[in-house]
Amino acid sequence: MPLPKIPTKPAALLLAKDYPKAERANKPGVHAVAKAAPAPLAPVAPITQLAPVEELTVAKPAAAPKAAKPAAKAKAPAVLEVVATPAAAPAAHAKPAGRGKEKPEADLDAPHPPRHKPVEAGVKSSTSRHADQAGITKMFVLDTNVLMHDPSSLFRFEEHDVYLPMMTLEELDDHKKGMSEVARNARQVSRTLDALVGAIDDGAIEAGIPLSKLGNKDAKGRLFFQTRLQNGPTLPEGLPVGKADNQILGVVRNLGAEQPGRAIVLVSKDINMRIKARALGLPAEDYFNDHVLEDTDLLYSGIVQLPDDFWNKHGKDMESWQENKNGSSATFYRVTGPTVPTLLVNQFIYLEPKNGEAPFYGQVKSITGKTAVLQTLRDFSHSKNNVWGVTARNREQNFALNLLMNPECDFVTLLGQAGTGKTLLALAAGLAQVLETKLYNEIIVTRVTVPVGEDIGFLPGTEEEKMSPWMGAFDDNLEVLNKSDSDGGEWGRAATQDLIRSRIKIKSLNFMRGRTFVNKFLIIDEAQNLTPKQLKTLITRAGPGTKILCLGNIAQIDTPYLTEGSSGLTYVVDRFKGWSHSGHVTLARGERSRLADHASEVL
């Protein structure tokens, strides 16, 4: 939205000493009055208190009261011409003298471009940034939740040192009992610390233990323990001394007093802990080494639009041929050009000319240098190519069905907001390949059991009966798929439904350890709520002939301590891109209903 025009004559006057001096007197629009003595300024109008000249570089309409009028309509005394001269203009449009070169005056009617801060500024503290610029190593004081979140975090700080307060070790000891993920991580950290401390003299602990001792070559820093009670400044009065967080904050402050030239930074996953540290003037930041991407807008989408001149630049020595694969004929193109190095294997490409020519939809099959082999796609939007009665309603769904129905693609990830058809496409492809082509034995469905609201308590029955309330989405989609079979009547539909139910198994994540799935069609729903470690556990269960699907929406994460950047779904999408037996599609358009589409936009 363009900003309103700023009045030529501001209502508040600057003192003469605050005006930057004009470089030339013969500039266009510079009046001779600009060199007049500042004496008449005092009686003209009461001077409003103004911000320093540096703050006036941002042109805000709020800087002038509403009573101010443009110069063309204002009837002011001649002495006010001093204000209208360009000698005062640099105060609003340019940096003060000594701060850099003057910028050309911008068009005030044009919309101002948005100012995007670098991502690093929101993650790292100012102490860390200054240390990075100076090229000096830092010392990171780790909170307990960092170690329990990522047991390998000790070795993720490169050349910097790591400091563990005694209270962190006490909290690790308190959380080591149990079968939860947190307890397992606490025990793993304790074993790692025991291996680091082993065969080290007592005096060597004071000097720090090399973190590369266990073979982690990337960790070039040293590990320090709190070996004595530190004397020095304490926390402000009023903070409870017995609380573990406050004791860790006291350790950070004392370390800063003992080593004034060293960058001491607290690392914590606890937001309130970081806020308290910043309020006390202590540098603190989040643990962001578990983030796959700092900006999820950069996440691999699996789809790329080709430039309009693609065939002109890449069609010079093009080769083409046809092959019959998976019961359908496909055309292959071998092209060479500058766009090829930016593509990835199994990435979908499309070109939709605006001059009325036929669009091109394809998939990258292989890349060698600047040469790529492209394959045309099967059109699943046509009714003759329907999958269990389901046809693609948009371009992205057609791409997804090409992946789901490809037996050479073992791992598929589908991202998309609510209503884009992820579950329906996965179930339709699974039923078609289990019951029609007999490519897989059965469909296995699993998902993480994270409630959106309050938990309703224990559920009775067997494993499948306990999981059935969590599988309401699959029941809804199965009902849609069963309605498409209207030839057999009510009895035929009932028999089909029983057959389908016998081929779909609902499993819990808690019992996946040690299993091996052979010739299964495994669907992992709501995968955005899984950690990278949990997804690794599931994907490594795949045996010969098994296809795994991960469905989810990273904008709907219900698991605490997981973000869009650290979700397991984001992790596998980024790690599997470019592999010849995996594929990914981000579904963009919602096809559920006009109400659902409008709600996802406005709510």
Q: Which tens digit of pLDDT belongs to each residue from 149-206?
A: 888 889 989 889 999 999 999 999 998 888 777 888 899 999 999 999 887 776 778 8
Intervals of CATH 3.40.50.300 along the chain: 395-451+460-602
Can you give the C-alpha Rg of the chain in angstroms?
33
For the segment 2-35, what is each residue's pLDDT rounded down to a tens digit? 444 444 444 444 455 554 554 444 444 444 333 3
367 bridge partner residues: 372
Q: How far apart are CA 554 and CA 530, in angstroms?
A: 11
Look at the domain 395-451+460-602 and name its fold: Rossmann fold (3.40.50)
Measure CA 424 to chain center: 26
Q: How far apart are CA 51 and CA 14, in angstroms?
A: 10
514 bridge partner residues: none
* Residue 285 near residue 265 (C-beta atoms within 8 A): yes
* Residue 265 near residue 276 (C-beta atoms within 8 A): no
Strand pairing of 328-336 and 319-325? antiparallel
CATH number assigned to the domain covering 126-286: 3.40.50.1010
Intervals of CATH 2.40.30 along the chain: 303-376
pLDDT averaged over consecutive 10-residue blocks of the chain (603 residues)? 44 51 44 40 41 38 40 39 37 38 41 38 72 88 90 89 92 86 88 87 81 87 85 69 86 89 90 90 86 73 92 89 85 93 95 88 94 94 90 94 94 90 91 92 82 58 65 69 64 72 78 84 91 88 93 85 85 93 91 79 81
In this structure, what token pair is assigned to residue 423? 């579950």
* Residue 416 near residue 422 (C-beta atoms within 8 A): yes
Model pLDDT, residue 87 = 38
Model pLDDT, residue 319 = 93
Which 8-state DSSP code applies to residue 544?
T
- Give Cα separations from 564 to 38, 118, 235, 558, 575 (angstroms): 59, 18, 35, 11, 15
Q: How far apart are CA 177 and CA 179, in angstroms?
A: 7
Classify the phi-psi angles of 321: left when phi > 0, otherwise alpha if psi is within -120 to 50, otherwise beta: beta
93 sits in which H/E element: helix 90-93
Model pLDDT, residue 601 = 78
**Nearest in space to 399 (alpha carbons), one of 419, 383, 417, 415:** 415
Intervals of CATH 3.40.50.1010 along the chain: 126-286
Model pLDDT, residue 463 = 60
Q: How far apart are CA 58 and CA 188, in angstroms?
A: 53
CATH number assigned to the domain covering 303-376: 2.40.30
Q: How far apart are CA 118 and CA 573, in angstroms?
A: 24
Instruction: Tell me how long the chain is.
Output: 603
In this structure, what token pair is assigned to residue 43? 């009686």
- Within 13 A of 356's CA, how many CA atoms are on the CB side? 0
361 bridge partner residues: 350
Model pLDDT, residue 11 = 44
